[in-house]
Amino acid sequence: MRLVPSVLAAAFTAAAVIGLTGCSTTVDLEPAEQANDAACAEVSVRLPGTVDGQPRRWTDAQATGAWGEPSAVLLRCGVEEPGPTEARCITLGGVDWIVDESQAPRYLVTTYGRTPAVEVFIDNESVSPNEVLTQLAETAVLGGTTVQSECTLTEELLPGADSAED
């Protein structure tokens, strides 16, 4: 089962509260359905010790990562691979990412065209999403997954953006 943004946001909030209370240094996360995929093991061993200056924290779920106290970045490998979409898509660090901005300034970002997919929940009030995604792409995501395709609709083609036909 893939966590919907509201469920992941609740997990993010719970992780932040745990970090604030000091009761535990372990972040409680739900593993993704395909977390036992060998490619997720590759991603897990490549997770960096810091992301955008935030130190890595222990998590209690397979193929997950967390950074910052309270948690500013949460990562899960093995989520359902997104299909073609008209959602905003960006490319950072050589990886295509689908961006869910529905809970801004917190963003749920999912790799596109990679198997298994990786999702990252980012608190834009604590870290730079662009910096986080670039660092994760360079160290973790590229190492463990296979490129299959590109986003079908890039940021330049979103409604309201300038196009070559104008």
Ranges 14-28, 64-78, 120-134: which has the least confidence? 14-28
Query: Helices H, strands E: what count in the chain?
Result: 4, 11
For residue 109, how many other CB atoms are within 10 A of its CB? 24
With 90 as the cut, is the pLDDT of residue 9 above it?
no
What's the pTM value of the predicted model, to 2 decimals? Answer: 0.76
How far apart (Å, rounded) are the C-alpha atoms in residues 56 and 110?
20
Is 23 or 76 the better-scoring residue by pLDDT?
Answer: 76
**Average pLDDT score over the chain:** 79
Query: What pLDDT sits at residue 147?
Result: 56
Query: What pLDDT sits at residue 94?
Result: 85
How far apart (Å, rounded) are the C-alpha atoms in residues 72 and 106?
9
Nearest to 9, CA basis, from 118, 122, 149, 137: 122
Query: What pLDDT sits at residue 150?
Result: 64
With 70 as the cut, is the pLDDT of residue 148 above it?
no
Arithmetic mean of pLDDT, 64-72: 96
